[in-house]
């Protein structure tokens, strides 16, 4: 199987005053194309740091990260932005929607950045919102949506550029358990449609629904199979 994501001896150090925090410590990890992986570990173990690195929102202090076989080390900001926009969709715990825009315009935002014209933006965002079950909420602003619906808008936005990889950092963390399970069902469907999915959770029952659980502790991955 081809690796969608590969980390080779990746470390991320943060320097705060005269302390050095080794948020990730020589992590090696290979994630197969079309797989569904849960990253699980206690608070402060390095999960968000790992996700930011995989998502090319941050760069490692040491080591290499390959996306779709392409080595991202040494890429400049423009090249990293290209990978981010084309290959990776990112979903956060607190949705990060723009409050003044309705669901349609929020979902269309990455297309605006990609220079797509308004008509096509609206069509593609509408298709994506329909895929996540929000056909009848396109004109609602975030404040007029439930938590689960907001997360669906965020998922539509993450996928509107049709990236192969979907990363989600505690996507169910701000949702009640029923809504959390609904979001998981959506991830399962997107995975069946071919997306590679990596998500972070504290919830063992959600993690156990996935093909693979990667445990992380103190910046290290115990099981890097």
Ligand X SMILES: Nc1ncnc2c1ncn2[C@@H]1O[C@H](COP(=O)(O)OP(=O)(O)O)[C@@H](O)[C@H]1O
In terms of CB distance, is 61 or 93 closer to Mg ion?
93
Binding of ligand X at residue 23 (CB under 6 A)?
yes
Q: Which does 14 bind (CB under 5 to 8 A by kind): ligand X, Mg ion, none?
A: ligand X
Give which of 163, 145, 159, 21 is closest to 83, Cα–Cα. Answer: 163
Helix, strand or coil, per DSSP, at residue 156: helix
Binding of Mg ion at residue 48 (CB under 5 A)?
yes
Binding of ligand X at residue 19 (CB under 6 A)?
no
Binding of Mg ion at residue 172 (CB under 5 A)?
no
The CB-of-100 to ligand X minimum distance in angstroms stands at: 28
User: Which pair of structure tokens corresponds to residue 100?
Assistant: 């003044």
The CB-of-177 to ligand X minimum distance in angstroms stands at: 20
Spell out the residues 6+ positions from residue 9 whose beta carbon is closer than 8 angstroms to its own: 26, 27, 28, 62, 63, 64
How many whole angstroms from its chain centre is CA 208? 19
In terms of CB distance, is 100 or 217 closer to ligand X?
217
Separation CA 66–CA 8 (nearest Å): 8
Please report, as ranges, the residues that interact with ligand X according to CB under 6 A. 14, 16, 21, 23, 41, 43-49
Kindly list the residues in this chain that would bind Mg ion in the complex (CB under 5 A): 47-48
């Amino acid at each position: 199987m081809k690796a969608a994501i590969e980390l080779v001896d990746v470390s991320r150090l943060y320097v705060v005053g005269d302390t050095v925090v080794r948020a990730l410590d020589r992590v090696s990890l290979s994630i197969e194309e079309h797989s569904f992986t849960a990253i699980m570990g206690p608070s402060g173990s390095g999960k968000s740091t790992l996700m930011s690195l995989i998502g090319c929102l941050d760069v490692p202090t040491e080591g290499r990260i390959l996306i779709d076989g392409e080595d991202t080390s040494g890429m400049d900001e423009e090249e990293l932005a290209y990978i981010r926009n084309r290959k990776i969709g990112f979903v956060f715990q607190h949705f990060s929607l723009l409050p003044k825009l309705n669901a349609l315009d929020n979902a269309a935002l990455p297309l605006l950045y990609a220079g797509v014209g308004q008509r096509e933006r609206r069509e593609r965002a509408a298709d994506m919102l329909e895929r996540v079950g929000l056909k009848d909420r396109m004109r609602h602003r975030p404040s007029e949506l439930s938590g689960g619906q907001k997360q669906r808008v965020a998922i539509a936005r993450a996928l509107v550029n049709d990236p192969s990889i979907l990363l989600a950092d505690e996507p169910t963390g701000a949702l009640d358990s029923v809504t959390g399970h609904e979001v998981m069902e959506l991830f399962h469907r997107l995975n069946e449609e071919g997306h590679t999915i990596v998500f972070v959770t504290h919830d063992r029952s959600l993690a156990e629904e996935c093909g693979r659980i990667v445990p992380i502790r103190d910046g290290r991955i115990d099981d890097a199979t």
